Amino acid sequence: MEPNELQLKPIGVFNSVARYPYDVPRQGAVAGDNVGVIRLYPEYTEGLADLDGFSHLWVIYWFHQNAGWHLKVRPPRHVERKVGVFASRSPYRPNPIGMSAVRLQRIEKNEIWITGHDLLDGTPILDVKPYLPYADSFPDASLGWTGEDDGHEYAVEFSETAQRQLAWLEANGVSCLRQFVLTQLGYEPLNAMRHRLLTLPTGELALAYRTWRISFEVKDMRVLVTHVSSGYTEADLAVEEDKYHDKPIHRAFNQLRL
């Protein structure tokens, strides 16, 4: 090992349904109740003693899907400017190390169950530390450039139909849609350069999420999600080939009257 090199060894791996960067919010604090599990390697299990008394944890991890880094980055909600990477939480860093404050739900043997996370499935875990309010919280801390309001943030609401559809999908294993909508449509929802927007055959504007379509309307600074629909046509669903292994859930969804 060279004198200026360090060696890091993961202590475990993180697992959740969030497999793609667009499945997680940009900050864990707005992630809600999305559940994930840190599975420590067995040799570290004893180190979890007494951790269950804390409500929140710091999780240190490796951005395993990143390639390359930049000294200047363009913040996702301040696209008209660039800031130094060290003045941001961008994952594209010289050392791709991430840090998130999460809520501890429970500990089972070598498993740490958490919510309010912004980690992807398969993330290597480097360390876990208790969050201490008296040492880690500074209510009067300044926000730097992040406190600048660029006026492009929208309120996102869901119609009763959309709420019923999302609840059914979540109960049947499609659990990333709601957070995806909040993350994508809360900022410049009509900007096709930032989002994958489609015009459906019905003329409705929709946001695409893999094989699902989320129809929405925009008025003033408010986004109303009207309903969710399948991205497959009836002809598509009649074909047995299932590249994304999700046609059964789409067929069942289309038979509902939610």
Domain architecture of the chain: domains with CATH = 12-147 (2.40.30.70), 155-254 (3.30.2310.20)
CA angle 160, 164, 168 (to 5 degrees): 170
Is the Cβ–Cβ distance between 26 and 100 less than 8 Å? Answer: no
Q: What is the mean pLDDT of residues 61-84?
A: 83
Say whether pLDDT at 149 is over 70.
Answer: no
> For the segment 85-139, what is each residue's pLDDT rounded down to a tens digit?
999 888 899 999 999 999 999 999 999 999 988 899 999 999 999 999 989 988 8
Which pLDDT belongs to residue 140?
A: 83
Q: What is the mean pLDDT of residues 190-194?
A: 85
Average per-residue pLDDT in the chain? Answer: 88
Is the Cβ–Cβ distance between 41 and 110 less than 8 Å? Answer: yes
Predicted confidence band at 28 (pLDDT cuts at 50, 70, 90)?
very low
Which pLDDT belongs to residue 23?
A: 67
Which pLDDT belongs to residue 182?
A: 87
User: Whole-prediction pTM value?
Assistant: 0.71
Say whether pLDDT at 20 is over 80.
Answer: no
Instruction: Give CA–CA dist 142/52, Å, rounded.
Output: 32
What is the side-by-side strand order in the sheet with 222-230? 155-158, 222-230, 212-219, 205-209, 197-199
Query: Which residue type sits at 206?
Result: A
Tell me which residue of 213, 219, 173, 175 sits closest to 195, measured CA to CA: 213
Predicted confidence band at 79 (pLDDT cuts at 50, 70, 90)?
low
Q: Specify the DSSP class assigned to residue 123.
A: P
Say whether pLDDT at 11 is over 60.
Answer: yes
Instruction: Give CA–CA dist 7/212, Å, rounded.
Output: 42
Around Cβ 119, how many Cβ atoms within 10 Å?
24
Percent of the chain with pLDDT over 70: 90
- Of the two residues 215 and 5, the one the predictor is more confident about is 215
Which pLDDT belongs to residue 32?
A: 54
Instruction: Give CA–CA dist 177/66, Å, rounded.
Output: 23
The string over 66-90, giving b where at least 16 C-beta atoms fall within 10 Å of a residue's C-beta and e elsewhere, is eeeeeeebebeeeeeeebebeebeb
